[in-house]
A = this chain, B = another copy of it.
Amino acid sequence: MAKNTNIRISLPAVCFVWQIAMIILFGVFVRYNEESDTRWIEHRRRKNISTNLENDFYYRYPSFQDVHVMIFVGFGFLMTFLKRYSFGGVGFNFLIAAFGIQWALLMQGWFHYLDDDGKIKIGVENLINADFCVAGCLIAYGACLGKVSPVQLMVLTLFGVTLFAVEEYIILELLHAKDPGGSMVIHTFGAYYGLTISWVLYRPMLSQSKHLQGSVYHSDVFAMIGTLFLWMYWPSFNSAIADHGDGQHRAVINTYLALAASVLTTFAISSISQKHGKLDMVHIQNATLAGGVAMGTASEFMITPYGSLIVGFCSSIISTFGYIFLTPFMEKTLKIQDTCGIHNLHAMPGVIGGIVGAITAASASESVYGQEGWYFMLCNFPGGILKLPIWGDPADANCFDDEVYWEVPEDEDENMLSSHPNMNHARGMPDA
């Protein structure tokens, strides 16, 4: 029964091999573009650009930094809510995002940014796109949180980034859809990718670690750090690669308004759904963000301020109801165990976003319909690979427990726990 969770060989091996591969591939393929190269001065002269400020850096760097915070602090801290998996939440998020951005620069580079000389020329826009690409994988991680090993996560990220670059190419380049904030390209894709993997890795006896699959008081406060940084910086996410000038400006306003409407709606549904009207932290931490997801595709469109409010309003209703009704249903009936409820936060609002975008633009419709099935097919094969018994993933009884992969300090509370025999049930014994 007890699985071998020793990753002392496999994790360093994967990290080293892939990092060295990145160095070699970057050596062969990646160069600065003309705005980040010393040739910028000639480029300025040639193009008659009057000021250094016209370097794309000054248009996009503040937005890039906001997106960067969303990826590492936003997603990372949102996943610290589990009582004994906060290290894994924020730590593995850090690992796979740092790998993913390197791989994404290459994959997206080959598809979109290849120059005549066979080199990928990078600048600040590539950094933003790499962060976007990684967001898809972090969403997928949300469904698997606590149930997979870091080695599996590295594989999940390798395939996830690859598939992302492919589907992005199809949707944006072949179907000519617009999706600056990635409702479809990032959120719906990431969610179905994660759900497929979670479905393949279904754990029938997961209830053995039920006592760990919840929060404690302060872990919920930590998760609010993640929620708020995602919520505050989402206008930057949806505007970071929008058109200069009014495009970026409008994308910010639309996203800001959709998110504001999401908060009130989430509080309303959360309160109405509970005995005594008490609010549920799971809803507040997640469904308040649905407006940002749903505004991704149409962020730059002339959707009007009140249109944005309506998008936020509707998506959060659906998202909160998803947490209440759909997550338990999916686990019982569809055998999909979705730790963070990404179906409610990313899949459904992402589909709404695609539909809103299609209606607003009266275009891009094909890219929306039938995507789910297509995503599902695509995502199946990495799931199968991850099922092999070689990855050091935890047994059902050891899920959601940092003890498996981290040196965990012995809290003084725990000293006490062990001095009270009747408290020992509360924590699985460490594997030492």
Contact = CB atoms under 8 A, between A and B. Distances in A.
Contacts of A216: 409, 411-412
A54 B53 contact: yes
Interface in A265-280: 265, 267-269, 271-272, 274-280
Interface string A345-369: 0000000000000000000000000
Interface in A106-144: 122-124, 127
Given A37-B250, A53-B54, A252-B61, A302 B30 contact: no
A416 B216 CA distance: 14
Given A87-B220, A260-B101, A228 B72 contact: yes
Interface string A1-17: 00001111111100110
A156 to B, nearest CB: 15
Contacts of A220: 87, 409
A15 B267 contact: yes
Identical subunits present = 3
Contacts of A426: 412, 415
A248 interface: yes
A33 B48 CA distance: 30
A62 B58 CA distance: 10
A328 interface: no
B407 A99 contact: no
A52 B409 contact: no
Interface residues of A, number: 144
A9 B277 contact: yes
Interface in A38-53: 38-41, 44, 50-53
A313 B22 CA distance: 11
Contacts of A44: 245
A409 B214 contact: yes
Most buried by B among A27, A236, A271, A416: A271
A321 interface: no
Contacts of A415: 423, 426
B36 A250 contact: yes
A11 to B, nearest CB: 5
A374 to B, nearest CB: 31
A65 to B, nearest CB: 6
Interface in A10-36: 10-12, 15-16, 18-20, 22-24, 26-27, 30-32, 35-36
Contact of A407 (B232, B245, B265, B278): B278
A18 to B, nearest CB: 7
A333 interface: no
A86 B22 contact: no
Max chain B CB contacts within 10 Å: which of A37, A39, A58?
Answer: A58
A198 interface: no
Interface stretch (A89-97, A170-178, A334-342, A378-386): A89-97
A417 interface: yes
A8 B271 contact: yes
9 contacts: A6-B277, A23-B306, A26-B309, A37-B246, A37-B302, A53-B54, A53-B58, A124-B249, A216-B412
* The 10 nearest A-B residue pairs measured at CB: A8-B277, A98-B263, A40-B246, A52-B245, A15-B268, A26-B306, A27-B306, A12-B268, A36-B249, A12-B272
Interface of A: 5-12, 15-16, 18-20, 22-24, 26-27, 30-32, 35-41, 44, 50-59, 61-63, 65-66, 68-69, 72-73, 76-77, 80, 83-84, 86-87, 90-91, 94-95, 98-99, 101-102, 122-124, 127, 150, 214-222, 224-225, 228-229, 231-233, 235-236, 244-246, 248-250, 252-253, 256-257, 259-265, 267-269, 271-272, 274-281, 284, 288, 302, 304-306, 309-310, 313, 405-409, 411-413, 415-417, 419-420, 422-423, 426-427, 431-432
Given A73-B225, A274-B407, 6 more contacts: A86-B218, A102-B257, A123-B249, A217-B411, A278-B407, A279-B405
